[in-house]
Amino acid sequence: MERRPKSISFRELNAAVRTAVRRTQERYPDIGLSDNQSIYFHLGWIWGIPPDWPLWDPVMTPVNTTFSDFLIDELKSTGLAESFETLEPAAYGAGSFTVIGVQSSPVSLTL
């Protein structure tokens, strides 16, 4: 039997990321996240935010982990986590491009 990705609302996913950004900013007010923080989505791979700091900075590791954990918590509390078979904290870096967030099983987005 062919497995098709589940569908989730982009608006709901965007709201979950924004809430995780706000909660992270409350915990770490000196890092400079804002309500207008860019959001990065590459579904089936990673989605979250591109931070303004290098992933390998050991001082920022707790911030990276906190954001990912808050995002997973928000997805669970809103019921969006049910749309994913897997949902794990993730970080990606290539050159100067970095993303912190979560990695999920494949889904499709609706508006």
Order of strands, edge to edge, in the sheet holding 40-42?
40-42, 46-49, 97-104, 87-94
More confident residue, 43 or 48: 48
**Which pTM was predicted?**
0.82
The Cβ of residue 23 has, within 10 Å, a number of other Cβ atoms equal to 18
User: 62-102: per-residue pLDDT in tens?
Assistant: 999 999 999 999 988 988 887 777 788 888 888 788 889 99
**pLDDT surpassing 70 at residue 15:** yes
Average pLDDT over residues 54-59: 84
